[in-house]
Structure 1
Amino acid sequence: MIRKKRNLDGRDSVYIGVLSAMCAVATAIKIPFGVGAMVHLGTAFLFMTAIVFGGVYAGLSGAIGSALYDLVLGFSPYTLWSFFIKGVAGLIAGLVAKGKWPETAASAWQLRTTWFLRAFLGCLLAAVWTLGGYIAAWWQVTGSLATALANIPSSLMTSGAGLVIALLVSPKLRKLLS
């Protein structure tokens, strides 16, 4: 089967713009977690976008939304880092979760299981990429490897919460949008 290459059009630009703004807002929503720790919902939004819309939408909206959040809310040293890290994370998660693999499962249960495994793997790979990227960003911005490594638990909590939320909400969102 030959697939025709599709270019982004005006509708795609509007969707990506709206998703970018929603990503920035979701990143600004912080949930206290434990003593002094915070988890933001930007990662959950990125993962949901990847699972529902795919890698291009998630990559572009994650890059733009995360960079916009950093720029507007005073984290400007991280703006370019976030653009690159979150953009690639969205692309990874979306390509794995909604990739070009054919749906060959025989039963509805197998289709759901395949969907879940692809979504889980995509989000997990994106979380690992994000962790590695932000360790490099924290180290470069703060000049301290110790400070960078000390941020690992909060990054893992944010990615873990994002993964759980995305896997719970995405099936409902996919059904609603289809």
Structure 2
Amino acid sequence: MSEKRLFTVKDVVYIGVFAALCAMATTIKIPFGVGAMVHLGTGAMLTVALLFGGVYAGLSGAIGSALFDLLLGFSPYTLWSFIIKGGAGFIAGTVAHGIWPSKAAGPKPFGKWLGRAALGCFLAAAWTLGGYILAWWQVTGSLTVALGNIPGSLMTSGAGIVIALLLAPRLRKIVQK
């Protein structure tokens, strides 16, 4: 479990591609409340988590969401998103798949994998909700506004969980090769 390894060029490239995917998927959004939005970036990050593990999902979620915030006008949330989405990706990926991608263990039975995947996604959603309540409160200065954004966060996480749980099993066979 305490597998030590260094980043390879392949790891860096994959994380970069997945970060770009997360940033691009976040641009597909519906604004909701003050600073909140329903978007597909969470679905991309959770799919990476279920397929590749905590390190890939954590770094690609952190970099991709921070990049989105920085480049598309949400700069007060950049550091918050880096920490919150990075943590969410790491949590979901570690629970569902482990810390690093590994072919050596072989594919887990689908039933066992689905349970761990769902648990990881729900824990990541809880982390995200708590983190963004703090972020919205800090950035807007209003706890009322922060609490008003809870439905948007729940809808984004819910959509992301559904996307990841539908998409990841179909992509597992491709990734295993």
| TM-score, length basis structure 2 | 0.88
The residue type paired with residue 143 of structure 1 is G
Q: 2:170 aligns with which of 164, 172, 176?
A: 172
The residue type paired with residue 138 of structure 2 is Q
- In the other structure, the counterpart of 2:81 is 82
- In the other structure, the counterpart of 1:66 is 65
- Residue 99 of structure 1 deviates from its aligned partner by 2.6
Q: Could you list the runs of 5+ residues in structure 1 that have no partner in the other structure?
A: 101-107
Distance, in Å, in 1 between the alignment partners of 2:96 and 2:146 is: 29
Once the two structures are superposed, the pairs formed by residues 8-87 of structure 1 within 5 Å of their partners are: 8-30=7-29, 39-87=38-86
The residue type paired with residue 16 of structure 1 is I
Distance, in Å, in 2 between the alignment partners of 1:155 and 1:95 is: 22
Could you say what secondary structure the match of 1:39 adopts?
strand
Instruction: Mark the CA change 1:3 to 1:63 in structure 2 (over 3 Å): closer, same or farther.
Output: closer
Distance, in Å, in 1 between the alignment partners of 2:84 and 2:75 is: 15
Task: State, as a whole percentage, how many aligned pairs show the same letter.
Answer: 68
Q: Is the 2:15–2:59 Cα contact (8 Å) retained in structure 1?
A: yes
Deviations 1:2-24 (A, max 9, x none): 97521111111111111111100
- Residue 38 of structure 1 deviates from its aligned partner by 5.2
- In the other structure, the counterpart of 2:104 is none
Distance, in Å, in 2 between the alignment partners of 1:168 and 1:133 is: 26
Q: 2:137 aligns with which of 136, 139, 142?
A: 139
Matched residue count: 166
Q: CA RMSD in A?
A: 2.1
Instruction: Mark the CA change 1:129 to 1:4 in structure 2 (over 3 Å): closer, same or farther.
Output: closer
The residue type paired with residue 53 of structure 1 is F
- Residue 39 of structure 1 deviates from its aligned partner by 2.1
Which is higher, the Rg of structure 1 or of structure 2? 1
Distance, in Å, in 2 between the alignment partners of 1:32 and 1:139 is: 18
- In the other structure, the counterpart of 1:105 is none
| TM-score, length basis structure 1 | 0.88
